[in-house]
Structure 1
Amino acid sequence: MGHSSTDAIEARPHGQLVSRIVLDPPDLDAWRERLFNVDDTIILTNEQFETYFPHIDNVYSHRSTQRYKRKPFISHYWDCRMKGRPPGTPKSDDPAKKKRKRNARERDLCDVKIKITEYFPGATIQSDHDEQHTFVADGLAGGQPGMDGEKFWTIQRVNGNGGNGKGDGVAGPHKHSLDKSDQIKKSTVQRYLTTQEKEARKAQKPFQRRPSGQAVQTIKKHNKEHDLKLYAACFCPFSQRVWIALEAKGMAYQYCETDPYRKPTQLLEANPRGLVPAIREGDWASGESSVILEYLEDRHSGVPLLPTDARLKANCRLWIDHINVKIVPGFYALARAYDSTKQFERTERLQAEITALVQAADERGPYFLGTDMCLVDIHFAPFAIRLSRLFRDRTMWLDPMPGTRWHQWANALEHNPHVQATLSNNELYTETFDLYTMPGPQHSDQLLDL
């Protein structure tokens, strides 16, 4: 064993056998199964060991290393992690070490122990290996270890002094699945990815969740103290619903830009769930965009947003329900579709729900009931205008075909003055796109009124 190899070993942290990370090597699942079961003695090139062992080391816990003065190899012993921590392990007295909450596991749930032998250039395999029960991985010169003068490794099962306490040398299989091991501990590669993600988030430019464009001018007109207060977030489509309605009805109100992540006191007092939008009028307050829109229509005069005819009004409420139950969930499902198959399926499904809504609208348009905007349009508008802004470049979504009733309606919503008065520049919506990709229930609880 050369001097440089010894120096490298001594400098290596206890139990750390590899120094590189390969994120997605070929046949990873098959390799993990082989290194989990260790049915035979496994012989690997140095490249194979460094590539695949970091993906499986969560199964095992390093116990000891045996160095030999005159032998060109080192033996490392690892227990299955499910065997449990042996008694008498000293606890760290380092005051700077972060304390972790440990969940005690029953000991001796598994008695598998493996021996990983690290052979250095020029070494030959130990004679006690049974050549009839050896798996030699591709890549070794002539299938014989040590013949190419490169470092190589062997992994073998060495039970016998395990959990059965018999010392009988019987090498039984793991008493649990690989999936169970994955639930207990993350592998070195997984921990590396988690660290990289954390560092990337730190380096990211924080979201600029501030209104821009025409929305800024509208806010300036409504920033004075008023009895009717709207707590809204400029990037939130549900907030925009209420904001559009206030503008369309020509009502006086105070706009209060609110960060739902911080959950300020004023928001919690208006809506204990801490979600936007919320309104307060005197000593009365409410959340939920659909409820707020009904309240504004029932209590306040101004431009009506629902027809007076009972049947027509009921029809509007039916299609408002369709928007909230079918289209809005479809919108978020498409936002969370990362592979092409899911994108295609969810695009088709969302388009079908929008087509059903369009077919129920007035034939001449341009709005749902004809020439005037109503609550159906207001419920739909924030999502319709985000489709082209957010999905066209990220998914398989296609803009409406010119000349169609859907194109006529989408164009009318885009250019409606009350909708435009509540719009920020496109950068706001693209920069906050990740907010739409959070899981539905968690997303709604933390950010939006669903």
Structure 2
Amino acid sequence: MGKPRVVSQFEGLEHHHQILQNPPDLKQWRQRLHDVAEPLRLTKAEFDTYFPYVSNVWSYQKKYIRKDGVEIQHWNCRMQPQTNKSIKDIGNILKDKDEKAKKTRSKKIRDGGTCKSFLRIEILLDSYTLSLTGDPHKHDLDYMDQIKRNNALRLRCEHEIWRQRQPAEILAALQGSTYMQDGRKQLTDAGGEYLKL
């Protein structure tokens, strides 16, 4: 009788599916959608594929439809200063800390709020035109990846959790420590370099 065979918790996972399947040129697309140095014209398919990978950069604000039927959407950089919290609100939160702590979750208020970038998206039939209407970003894409995860990664992880995978198993598979070739690079290109448990 030979040595007992050690079975990895990830054995067979590669036969089911690859957790992270990046679209082509994702790193370059993410950078373009972060910077929007010049107006970008995308098809609906391109927008639906790549924009969820920069949802950690842009925050939807409002939309309206012009008389000619073109939908206009306005997005702000997530690092824009918070204008909806007053000093009085923050003071009340601190004053009633013990009472409120029992009712609400604690949330850290992010410092910074110095970016004044705005994104305008025009939607006409199957094309999207993105243009920057404010100043360029005061931060880079890597910084945004550090403070918030994009929707594409979040939905991918959520899908794996629904498939009964453990968080450590999902993270290890995403980072390429199990079976995925170039896993760490793909994860970084998708904005998940700082993904952790």
User: What interval of TM-score do these two structures reach, taking the shorter chain for normalisation?
Assistant: 0.5 to 0.7
Aligned to 1:75: 72
Aligned to 2:129: 154
- CA offsets, 1:82-105, max 9 Å, x none? 11433169xxxxxxxx95532212
Q: Quote the Cα distance in structure 1 between the aligned partners of 2:37 and 2:50.
A: 17
- Of the three residues 110, 121, 130, the one matched with 1:116 is 121
- For residue 182 of structure 1, give the secondary structure of its aligned residue in structure 2: helix
Aligned to 2:157: 194
When normalised by structure 2's length, the TM-score is 0.62
> Per residue, is there more strand in 1 or in 2?
2
Question: How many residues align structurally?
Answer: 137
Q: Quote the Cα distance in structure 2 between the aligned partners of 1:88 and 1:339.
A: 44
- For residue 82 of structure 1, give the secondary structure of its aligned residue in structure 2: coil
Question: Cα–Cα, structure 1 residues 200 and 83, in superposed 2: closer, same or farther, change >3 Å?
Answer: same
Letter in 1 for 2:71: I
When normalised by structure 1's length, the TM-score is 0.28
Q: Give 1 or 2 for the bigger CA radius of gyration.
A: 1
Aligned to 1:250: none
Higher RCO (Cα < 8 Å, 6 or more apart): 2
Q: Would you say the 8 A contact 2:82–2:113 is kept in 1? A: no
Residue 49 of structure 1: CA displacement? 0.8
- For residue 201 of structure 1, give the secondary structure of its aligned residue in structure 2: coil
Residue 180 of structure 1: CA displacement? 0.8
1:133-148 correspondence runs (5 A): none
Query: Which contiguous aligned blocks of 4+ residues in structure 1 show a shift greater than 6 angstroms?
Result: none
Aligned to 2:36: 38
Q: Quote the Cα distance in structure 2 between the aligned partners of 1:66 and 1:24.
A: 32
Aligned to 2:12: none
Overall identity of the aligned pairs, in %: 31
> Over the residues paired in the alignment, what is the CA RMSD in angstroms?
2.7
Residue 112 of structure 1: CA displacement? 0.8
Aligned to 1:176: 139
Aligned to 1:25: 23
Tell whether 2:80 aligns with 1:105. no
- For residue 44 of structure 1, give the secondary structure of its aligned residue in structure 2: strand
Letter in 2 for 1:111: K
Q: Quote the Cα distance in structure 2 between the aligned partners of 1:28 and 1:82.
A: 23
1:47-446 correspondence runs (5 A): 47-68=45-66, 70-87=67-84, 100-120=105-125, 151-159=126-134, 171=135, 173-201=136-164, 336=177, 338=179
Q: Would you say the 8 A contact 1:36–1:56 is kept in 2? A: yes
| Structure 1: unaligned runs, 5 residues or longer | 1-21, 90-97, 121-150, 160-170, 204-335, 342-450
| Structure 2: unaligned runs, 5 residues or longer | 1-19, 87-102, 167-176, 183-197
- CA offsets, 1:20-44, max 9 Å, x none? xx95210000000001110000011
Q: Would you say the 8 A contact 2:61–2:75 is kept in 1? A: yes
Question: Cα–Cα, structure 1 residues 74 and 30, in superposed 2: closer, same or farther, change >3 Å?
Answer: same
